[in-house]
Structure 1
Amino acid sequence: MEYLALFLAVVVGYIVALLFQKKELPQLPIILAFSGAFLLATTLFELLPEVFESSSEHIGVFIMVGILLQIILDFFSKGAEHGHVHMHSDKKTFPLLLFVSLSLHALIEGVPLVDNSAMFYGVLVHKIPIAIILALFFTKAGYKKSTTLSFLLLFAVMTPLGSYLMSSMPPLKVYANEINAVAIGIFLHVSTTILFESSKNHTFNLSKMIAVFIAVIIAYFI
């Protein structure tokens, strides 16, 4: 059911994008800020203590690797992981670099979800607004519907695939803490960037501030 929910999160994002493709979605920055705060809070409350409790003293190196990896992925995806897509193409062909970078990001973010319900909800909430933004970008940029659907469907499979590989491949479980630490670095980079970039001039209005506080409180109690 968790695999299906992760897949359906992208489907929901696509449906919302279809409903608002010809109009603005003013609530999207607030939803994005909520998702960023929720992902950050679940990472700090759940995953970070778990990794440090059962890991070596060098685990911080792997967290830093995750941050640096996400910076590299951002270079190719143009910031799609945290809600900004700045790509221009006259040919409107399948954006392979965007797909590879987003897929690697989604694959790694599926790893910590095994036996961790809080992180599952954190990633689930994160995926919906990202899917909305991706679908809106493809639609407004004039990509064919077949290209948009194939991209989003393949992207939707990646996070469940990451969870499946971790749960079904014993060699990966040996390095679970290290891989989770890399995921922490990715989550920290993405969530904090969302919080800064979801607000104009890096300032928060009252509605976004309330959304952030609500997200943190919910994350603490789940």
Structure 2
Amino acid sequence: MIIILLILSVLIGVFLGKFFGDREKFAKNLLIVSAGFLITICLNEVFPEVYSGEHHNIGLWVIGGVLLQMLLENLTKGFEHGHFHDHSEGKNILPVALMVGLFIHAFLEGIPLANEDVILSPYLTGILVHNIPISFILGAFLVKNKKFSASAFLIISIFALASPLGLLLGKYFNPNLEVYFLALVGGIFLHISSVIIFESNKNHNVDWKKIGFVTLGVLLAMTSHLFHNH
């Protein structure tokens, strides 16, 4: 069931991107809501779990996740943050680089789900909410004349299967290592959500609309948190 949800979240985002990809503001707003959701999940769920045990140098894994995401952005050119307006012309990003960067990102997210037995746990919900706007941008980027090429289908398939593959491979790892992968992904989430939320406006004015969307994401995450705890 978890694998199905992971694949569905990508497909929903891709097809939204196919039909509404020209609405850049809509994509940006989706990203901002997901960033508010993601950072709340990190602070309320991921980090408390990561730091609850006496794991040796666990904080270094969180920092490692932040640094890894910075490296991956050399491949994706900020796709995760909504920096896609110039990519559609193919000048700043190669499909292979995009595919590799997104695959590694999504693959690592799937590993901590290896022993997850709760449907729609806060961590899983965070991934699903995070997948939709990224897949929206991916769909908007890959569609040409309202159609997907064979290479576009390949990239979408690879991205959709990345997290499920991480989940399946994670079942062969020592369960004691799971918390380290969770810390790594927590660092990735923290970096992505922080960049989206704190990205400066042109005139550095207070953006009440952005604050509203971030708050909406926080409230949705808190609702998921409360639902999970009950």
TM range, smaller chain: 0.7 to 0.9
Q: Say yes or no: does 1:139 pair with 2:143.
A: yes
Instruction: Say whether the 8 Å CA contact 1:54–1:177 is kept in structure 2.
Output: no
Cα deviation, 1:100-142, whole Å, max 9, x if unaligned, reads 1111110111123342610111110111111111111122699
Q: Report how far residue 152 of structure 1 moved.
A: 0.8
> Who is 1:218 aligned against?
220
Q: In structure 1, what residue type is equivalent to 2:11? A: V
The 8 Å contact of residues 19 and 146 in structure 2, kept in 1 or not, is answered as: no
State the one-letter code of the partner of 1:130.
Answer: I
Deviations 1:25-68 (A, max 9, x none): 53222111000110111011001000101242511111111111
SS in structure 2 opposite 1:169? Answer: coil
Stretch of structure 1 that moved more, 77-86 or 198-207: 198-207
Task: Answer with 202-211 or 70-79: which moved more.
Answer: 202-211
**Structure 1 residue 127 corresponds to structure 2 residue 131:** yes
Deviations 1:90-109 (A, max 9, x none): 7x9x7212111111110111
Amino acid at match of 1:154: I
Aligned to 2:182: 180
Q: Does 1:98 align with 2:98?
A: yes
Is the Cα–Cα contact under 8 Å of residues 62 and 182 in structure 1 kept in the other structure?
A: yes
- My pick for the range that moved more, 142-151 or 37-46, is 142-151
Moved more, 36-45 or 56-65: 56-65
Q: What is the aligned partner in structure 1 of residue 65 from structure 2?
A: 66
Q: How many residues align?
A: 217
The worse-fitting range, judged by mean Cα deviation, of 77-86 and 149-158 is 77-86
Give 1:146's aligned amino acid: A
Q: Which runs of 5+ in 2 are unaligned?
A: 225-230
Give the TM-score normalised by the residue count of structure 1.
0.87
Contact 2:39 2:193 in 1 (8 A): yes
Partner of 2:172: 169
Structure 1 portions without partners, runs of 5+? none
Identity of aligned residues (%): 34
RMSD, aligned α-carbons: 2.6
Question: What secondary structure is seen at the aligned counterpart in 2 of 1:175?
Answer: helix
Question: SS of the counterpart of 2:25?
Answer: coil
CA distance in 2, matches of 1:188, 1:219: 15
Maintained 8 Å contact 1:10/1:156:
yes
User: Offset at 1:217?
Assistant: 2.0
Report the Cα offset of residue 216 of structure 1.
1.0
Cα distance between partner residues in 2 of 1:204 and 1:162: 40
- For 1:202 and 1:31, the matched residues in 2 are separated by 21
Whichever residue aligns with residue 72 of structure 1, its letter is L
Give the superposition deviation at 1:147.
1.4
Asked if the contact 2:76–2:97 (Cα under 8 Å) also holds between the matched residues in 1, the reply is yes
